[in-house]
């Protein structure tokens, strides 16, 4: 046996479900290519395994945040096109070209450095241009982009024009149509360049009243991993992660007993508690704990909901297993994430989003891969 066999948590990652989610999203707009965003260790699921599974499913284009991630994708999917979203660090052009990956350039300085590298090396490596249409984060201002396109271009032919949607997870917001319209107008200045706008929410939304969001390439991320970025709108996605926690002790406690740090929750009834061997050091955010009058997240034993009791500690969580089978005891496993309580459910219970839950999945868990 190895140390993994004694881990406090067991994380199962279903690569078959990941591949199926990509196929489902690809089918929503078949005239547009469906890429895969695999930054942040493929949203916590393991970049090398996830990239290989997605490539086998048919994904040909990948997006990461850093060059180190791009190297992993290049090893897992040698024929893939790989874009690095966080741009071009100063002096990194040769490294990008040697790995055969494409920076997403979002400033005049980055564009000038990339064009200078092309001129000096005689090579012609590909890159994307990022235009800010409303996120106010990375990218050229629309006026800057228009000036460069009208003034003779960037010093090279962009392999992709892209922008990023800020509010597509709230379909009623008018900003998405404003961004689509602005991006379409700028793309018209360079009509031969492939264009990309839709993220996960944009892929699921598909279009606004003004037109199609798909363009030539879509970039789903969190939806690949089973999280629905458009709250209140069903999405045909399969859960990719299942997390179970090991029970290390059970105990009976009387009504009125305070539980955990600060004693912020007192038991309303005589209760049986199970103490789990995971905590906020494992990505179960402290905000998911409970206190009197403010319930938190919940675990499941079979179909029985077992609410968290008191504050989440660094390495421990108390849950109420009074209504669960009496067989629950030391060495039992309970569901933290799965069919009953998904990443979006835990995100809501913690006052955050499924993205943060996924990307915070601990390396202390035993990891098991299916598919």
- DSSP one-letter code for 262: G
Q: Are strands 366-370 and 9-14 parallel, antiparallel or unpaired?
A: parallel
CA distances (Å), origin 31, targets 48, 172, 342 = 28, 25, 31
- The CB-side HSE value for 20 (13 A sphere, CA atoms) comes to 12
- Phi and psi torsions of 72, nearest 5°: -65, -45
229-236 own/partner pairs: CB under 8 Å, 24+ apart = 229/168, 229/169, 229/199, 229/200, 229/201, 229/204, 229/354, 230/168, 230/169, 230/171, 230/201, 230/204, 230/205, 231/169, 231/344, 233/171, 233/204, 235/204, 236/24
Catalytic residue among 60, 83, 238, 261: 261
**CA 265 – CA 68 distance, rounded (Å):** 44
**Neighbour tally for 6: CB within 10 Å:** 10
Look at residue 94 and give its three-state secondary structure: helix
308 catalytically annotated:
no
The answer to whether 39 is a known catalytic residue is: yes
Among residues 39, 83, 355, 365, which one is catalytic? 39
Cα–Cα distance for residue pair 317/106, rounded to 1 Å? 44
How many whole angstroms from its chain centre is CA 181?
26
For the annotated catalytic residues, the residue numbers are 39, 261
């Amino acid at each position: 046996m190895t140390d993994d066999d004694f881990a406090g948590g067991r994380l199962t990652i279903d690569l078959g479900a990941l591949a199926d989610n990509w196929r489902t999203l690809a089918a929503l707009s078949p005239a547009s290519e469906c890429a895969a965003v695999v930054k942040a260790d493929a949203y916590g699921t393991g970049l090398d395994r996830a990239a290989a599974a997605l490539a086998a499913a048919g994904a040909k284009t990948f997006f990461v945040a850093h060059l180190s991630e791009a190297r992993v994708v290049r090893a897992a999917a040698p024929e893939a096109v790989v874009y690095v979203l966080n741009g071009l660090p100063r002096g990194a052009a040769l490294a990008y070209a040697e790995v055969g990956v494409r920076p997403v350039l979002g400033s005049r300085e980055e564009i000038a450095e990339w064009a200078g590298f092309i001129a000096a090396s005689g090579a012609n490596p590909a890159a994307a241009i990022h235009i800010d249409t409303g996120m106010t984060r990375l990218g050229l201002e629309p006026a800057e982009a228009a000036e460069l396109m009208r003034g003779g271009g960037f010093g090279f032919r962009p392999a992709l024009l892209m922008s990023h949607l800020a509010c597509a997870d709230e379909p009623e917001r008018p900003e998405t149509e404003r961004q689509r319209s602005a991006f379409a107008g700028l793309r018209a200045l360079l009509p031969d360049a492939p264009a990309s706008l839709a993220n996960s929410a944009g892929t699921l939304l598909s279009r606004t009243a003004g037109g199609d969001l798909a363009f030539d390439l879509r970039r789903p991320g969190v939806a690949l991993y089973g999280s629905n970025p458009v709250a209140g709108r069903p999405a045909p996605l399969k859960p990719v992660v299942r997390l179970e926690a090991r029970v290390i002790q059970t105990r009976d406690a009387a009504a009125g007993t305070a539980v955990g740090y600060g004693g912020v929750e007192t038991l309303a009834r005589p209760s049986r508690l199970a103490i789990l061997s995971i905590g906020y050091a494992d990505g179960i955010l402290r905000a998911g704990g409970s206190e009197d009058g403010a319930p938190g997240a919940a675990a499941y034993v079979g179909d029985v909901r077992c609410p968290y009791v008191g504050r989440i500690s660094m390495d421990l969580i108390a849950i109420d297993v009074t209504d669960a089978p009496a067989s629950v005891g030391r060495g039992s496993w309970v569901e933290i994430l799965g069919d009953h309580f998904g990443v979006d459910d835990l995100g809501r219970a913690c006052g955050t989003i499924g993205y943060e839950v996924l990307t915070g999945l601990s390396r202390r868990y035993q990891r098991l891969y299916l598919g």
